[in-house]
Amino acid sequence: MPGTIDLRSDTITKPTPAMRDAMSRAPVGDDVLGDDPTVIELERRTAEILGKEAAVYMPSGTMTNQVAIRCHTEPGDEILCDANAHSYLYECGGPAAISGATCRLLAGVRGIFTAHDVVAALRPANVHYPRTRLVCVENTHNRGGGSIWPLGQIGEVAQVAREANLKMHLDGARLWNASVASGAPERQYAKHFDSVSVCFSKGLGAPVGSALAGAAEFIDKARRFRKMLGGGMRQAGIIAAGALYALEHHRQRLAEDHANAKRLAEGISKLSGIDLDPALVETNIVILRVMSMPPEKLAAKLKGEGVLILAIGPDKIRAVTNLMVTEQDIDEALRVFRKVVSS
């Protein structure tokens, strides 16, 4: 919508002029046949940043997550993940439908569980039980409000997972945000995982795509399941060029989104009828509890004033800062929030 401040998600970002120029000039080939040079370079660079042997480009983060789960598990296996994990809540029951796997849900704090939680969920070797095969971590955690996993805690979870002969998958759709906010390189997080999914079309602002990274043999297997699920693309270099541009030029600017989210949170927290602790806003996601009216009503009122947000529960709304939103937009959004809430 022209003239609106769109805080619904960081998926609403549009390619910058420089990104469009890179896309228009991209050399292309047939990606399924393995000869699209731009896709090849994007996969090489992604694997390099994450410290992995190889990567494969896919249309979406849902596909990279579900392909990873399919590679790691067999029908009847069990996955350990947080109760609010994206791969469990927002991917259409993919683990069950695609892999025949069940999810055992852990009660993390803002999406972050402990090594003790993993140990407590392990099943004894018994023919009656499903086989636990995989631990999934989401960093940053969407429903956790963009929360960042502490590196030490990831290491502890990884250690107990290895001792139990479990694989580790990272849903790193917003790993770029975690890296910029914490100062830890992406590969420092990724080293604990057998597979890592990263997204280019959220904070980085590319129009399409995610990548799955891991060992070369694992990625060869992932390519087969990508094809099976309809994710094989042809002259994909046109969109891969946008992702490659974003990877090289938009990662560090995520700090601007984080600063804008903090500015928004601090302003909203002062309003009556709102429950929000700005200290919990670590990256670009702001989740607040609305006590003065139903969240859908607040969202509708804000929309009428040109600010878009999402109602995500019976008393919560979510606002996500992104490439399309400036500091001036945040100040205007705060003015609208004050007007709407006070009325």
Closest CA to 197 of 206, 205, 209: 209
DSSP string for 312-332: -SSSEEEEE--TT--HHHHHH
DSSP string for 174-236: THHHHHHHH---HHHHHTT-SEEEEESSSTT--SS-EEEEE-HHHHHHHHHHHHHTT---SST
Task: Map out the domains of the chain with their CATH numbers.
Answer: 5-12+253-342 (3.90.1150.10), 17-249 (3.40.640.10)
Report the pLDDT value the prediction gives residue 24, as an integer from 0 to 100: 98
Report the pLDDT value the prediction gives residue 125, as an integer from 0 to 100: 87
Beta bridge partner(s), residue 80:
104, 135
Q: Write out the two tokens for 265.
A: 């949170």
Strands 316-320 and 310-311: antiparallel
Give the C-alpha separation, 220 to 123, whole Å: 31
Q: Write out the two tokens for 4.
A: 């609106």
Closest CA to 306 of 4, 7, 8: 4
Buried b (16+ CB within 10 A) or exposed e, 151-163: beebebbbebbee
Report the pLDDT value the prediction gives residue 1, as an integer from 0 to 100: 47
Please, what are the averages of pLDDT over each run of 10 residues along the chain (343 residues)? 84 97 98 96 98 98 98 98 97 97 97 98 93 97 97 98 98 98 98 98 97 98 97 97 98 98 97 95 97 93 96 95 97 96 86
Task: Give the H or E element holding residue 79.
Answer: strand 78-82
pTM of the model: 0.96
